[in-house]
């Protein structure tokens, strides 16, 4: 599931952390983003209304994958809930698409994947978890049942790809009708997401969302001043079309079902008093953008010569591949044998790696997020 790819990368790293430092290095970026926002969750706990007598405080992590990267932040949140509302039970719902690996989620929560079987679920009393395997573009929880909703690096995924992008592979390079169609799809999806959450939240409830986006300086994932990652994807894929390794139709059919919203796009329905979202009681509390540096680039820079460009390329490209490969595979025609499709995509990432090894300057997958805090007011 493409929605999960980036988070799943985080997953693999979390699980592999027991093996040593190499993999924990690989998860640092996604976890840094959530740790950055841990204070926003604590602030949310401070603001929610007390639960009704005998009712739990409820949390949800939307687009949670295996729950690995958010586990520490959620633990801190529960501990804060226990301070503010002693003796209160806590219920946490993890959501993701149907094909998510929910077994990995529960094994993680139960501590089966850790050498030391300590997780918030095994350590803290009176905490209950469940999972909902349905996309977050629709209402997933009963009306007014949620105290704090959380989402990290998930809501850039669209419910569907509105059209092809003929001359690029991502909406950041789309123009004209394609750019407009992606923007419209994203605007509708964002309304759907916010209206669903407005129904789920109790009055006084909070949403904390860390979404991939485009910041005030036009920066976005893999485009923070150096080589543009998505332009590199597009150029290498286009070259393979020119060389007839893939067809022109396959190039056109390849597009990430994603949209990076600007802070204005994120905030618009929350500030326009006539919008359905505003009328449903959702209000903007805070919005800001932030960049979290690429851990691979940082490791290379900090090695100051002790790591070769080839070594950097070999460490860097697999992280791009982990969340983007499914998109390039799905662009290829089904008439090709599966092995052939995999061979083509192998060649594609080999070319990316060669390019980085030959000209390492400026390659980095920095994370650019919009950090949003919202509240549901009583109408």
- Interface residues with a second copy (CB under 8 A) are 54-56, 89, 91, 93, 98-103, 105-107, 110, 112, 126, 128-134, 139-145
**Secondary structure of residue 364 in the 3-state scheme:** coil
With respect to a second copy, which residue has the nearer C-beta, 142 or 305? 142
Are the C-beta atoms of residues 281 and 352 closer than 8 Å to each other? no
How far is the C-alpha of 238 from the C-alpha of 294, rounded, in Å? 26
Question: Least separation, in Å, of the C-beta of 60 and a second copy?
Answer: 10
How far is the C-alpha of 206 from the C-alpha of 149, rounded, in Å? 6
Question: Least separation, in Å, of the C-beta of 140 and a second copy?
Answer: 7
- Of 268, 79, 126, 278, give the one whose Cα is nearest residue 195: 278
Where b means 16+ CB within 10 Å and e means fewer, 147-172 reads bbbbbbbbbbbbbebbebbeebbbbb
DSSP state of 172: G
Question: Least separation, in Å, of the C-beta of 108 and a second copy?
Answer: 9
Question: Least separation, in Å, of the C-beta of 185 and a second copy?
Answer: 21
Task: Say how many CA atoms lie within 13 Å of 201 toward its Cβ.
Answer: 29
With respect to a second copy, which residue has the nearer C-beta, 75 or 219? 75
**Secondary structure of residue 250 in the 3-state scheme:** helix
Question: Least separation, in Å, of the C-beta of 102 and a second copy?
Answer: 4
With respect to a second copy, which residue has the nearer C-beta, 147 or 366? 147
With respect to a second copy, which residue has the nearer C-beta, 33 or 195? 195
Question: Least separation, in Å, of the C-beta of 212 and a second copy?
Answer: 25
Q: Per-residue DSSP letters for 39-94?
A: HHHHHHHHHSPPPPTTPPEEEEEET-TTSTTTHHHHHHHHHHHHHHSTT--EEEEE
With respect to a second copy, which residue has the nearer C-beta, 132 or 309? 132
How far is the C-alpha of 375 from the C-alpha of 357, rounded, in Å? 47
Question: Least separation, in Å, of the C-beta of 220 and a second copy?
Answer: 31
With respect to a second copy, which residue has the nearer C-beta, 141 or 263? 141
Q: State which H helix or E strand residue 137 sits in.
A: none
With respect to a second copy, which residue has the nearer C-beta, 154 or 373? 154
């Amino acid at each position: 599931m493409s929605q999960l790819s980036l988070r799943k990368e985080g997953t693999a790293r979390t699980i592999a952390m027991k093996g040593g430092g190499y993999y924990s290095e690989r998860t640092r970026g996604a976890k840094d983003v959530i740790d950055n926002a841990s204070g926003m969750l604590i602030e949310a706990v401070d603001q929610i209304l007390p639960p009704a007598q005998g009712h739990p405080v409820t949390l949800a992590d939307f687009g949670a994958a295996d729950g690995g990267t958010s586990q520490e932040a959620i633990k801190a949140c529960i501990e804060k809930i226990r301070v503010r509302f002693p003796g209160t039970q806590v219920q946490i719902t993890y959501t993701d698409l149907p094909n998510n690996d929910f077994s990995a989620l529960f094994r993680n929560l139960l501590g089966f994947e850790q050498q030391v079987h300590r997780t918030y679920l095994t350590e803290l009393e009176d905490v209950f978890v469940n999972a909902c395997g349905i996309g977050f573009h629709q209402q997933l929880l009963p009306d007014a049942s949620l105290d704090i909703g959380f989402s990290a690096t998930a809501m850039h995924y669209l419910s569907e790809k509105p059209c092809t992008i003929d001359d690029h592979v991502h909406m950041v390079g789309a123009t004209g009708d394609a750019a407009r169609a992606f923007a419209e799809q994203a605007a509708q999806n964002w309304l759907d997401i916010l209206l669903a959450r407005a129904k789920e939240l109790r009055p006084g409830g909070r949403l904390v969302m860390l979404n991939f986006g485009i910041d005030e300086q036009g920066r976005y994932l893999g485009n923070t001043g150096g080589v543009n990652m998505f332009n590199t994807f597009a150029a290498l894929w286009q070259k393979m079309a020119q060389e007839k390794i893939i067809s022109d139709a396959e190039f056109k059919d390849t597009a990430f079902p994603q949209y990076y919203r600007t802070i204005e796009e994120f905030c618009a329905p929350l500030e326009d008093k006539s919008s359905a979202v505003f009328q449903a009681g959702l209000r903007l509390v805070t919005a800001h953008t932030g960049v979290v540096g690429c851990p691979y680039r940082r490791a290379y820079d900090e090695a100051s010569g002790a790591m070769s460009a080839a070594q950097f390329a070999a460490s860097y490209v697999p992280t791009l591949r982990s969340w983007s490969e499914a998109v390039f595979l799905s662009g290829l025609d089904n008439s090709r044998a599966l092995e052939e499709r995999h061979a083509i995509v192998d060649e594609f990432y080999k070319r990316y790696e060669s390019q980085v090894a030959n000209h390492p300057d400026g390659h980095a997958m920095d994370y650019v997020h919009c950090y949003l805090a919202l509240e549901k007011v009583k109408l």
